[in-house]
Amino acid sequence: MNLDLAIVDYWASSGRSAWHQASAGAKIVLVLAVVGSAVFSSSVAFLASAYGLVWVLVLASGLPIVPVIGLATYPALFTLVFIASRWDGRWETAAIYLLRALCAGLAAVWLVGTTPYPDLFAPISRLVPRFVGDALFLSYRAFFTLANKMVRLSVALRLRGGWGRGGAMRRLSNLGQGMGTLVLFSFERSQRVYAVMELRGHSGRVCGCRHWSASTRLDWVPVALAALIVTAAVWTRGAP
């Protein structure tokens, strides 16, 4: 995964395309339509078309192509294990499994690449218990600090010989001790965050943001595309 989350977060907050301006709610509807249609469809033609359509969305959003290809092909690694185990001599079966995973994965990457996380998490936090929704926000906020610490830890381990000497077990044990410093940091950080929350009058919910549902002039486009995709999926049901 490397630091993909930080990169994608940068795309979402710095992008200026029309898709970045569209409301999170409309884009979530579109992505749910793509993912739902993909996992229920067994038509290679439909899945290939839907995958092509999501690529058009990615290109229209101005997301950098090479990193997106890296992220979007990641699900293929996992899917190949399943394809190999279920290999029945038909390429159609392999193509269906692969396209389903690629289509859903690319749609998710497009969504997070065009939607800032407060807008993306706000509707999700409405669907899950409050404790979980708040944990989602706090985890995302804490990730960037901890990821930087993790990179520094990795560099420090290499520079001080903790990663190069000894066998694999020795290296992993050193990594574990390094991880211990990050656990300590996490505990201290949680105490600081708690103090800040108390100071700011934490009311029991981390984000009451409603920006995600604020409709824009462009919202009809993702909703219309969602309807088109679902109709096409139903239409091509049973087709090769």
Q: Looking only at residues 83 through 142 of this chain, which bind other proteins when binding is defined by CB under 8 A?
A: 84-88, 90, 92-93, 96-97, 100-101, 104-106, 108-109, 111-112, 120, 124, 128-132, 134-142
Number of other residues whose CB lies within 10 A of the CB of residue 23: 19
Q: Which is nearer to other proteins, 22 or 47 (CB)?
A: 47
Between 208 and 240, CB nearer to other proteins: 240
Closest to other proteins by CB, 176 vs 208, is 176
Q: What is the total count of residues that contact other proteins (CB under 8 A)?
A: 90
Least spacing, CB of residue 217 vs other proteins, in Å:
26
Residue of 20, 29, 30, 21 lying closest to 53 (CA atoms)? 30
Binding mask 171-210 for other proteins (x = CB under 8 A): -xxxxxx-xxxxxx-xx-xxx-xx--xx---x--------
Residue 13 interacts with other proteins (CB under 8 A): yes or no: no
Between residues 23 and 114, which has the closer beta carbon with respect to other proteins?
114
The residue among 42, 50, 110, 104 whose CA lies nearest residue 79 is 104
Contact 122, 210 (CB under 8 A): yes
Q: Which of 29, 154, 218, 230 binds other proteins (CB under 8 A)?
A: 154
Task: Determine the residue type at 84.
Answer: A
Of residues 33-92, which lie at the interface with other proteins (CB under 8 A)?
Answer: 35-36, 38-40, 42, 71-72, 74-75, 77-79, 81-82, 84-88, 90, 92
Question: Min. distance of Cβ 228 from other proteins in angstroms?
Answer: 20
In whole angstroms, the minimum distance from the beta carbon of 112 to other proteins comes to 5
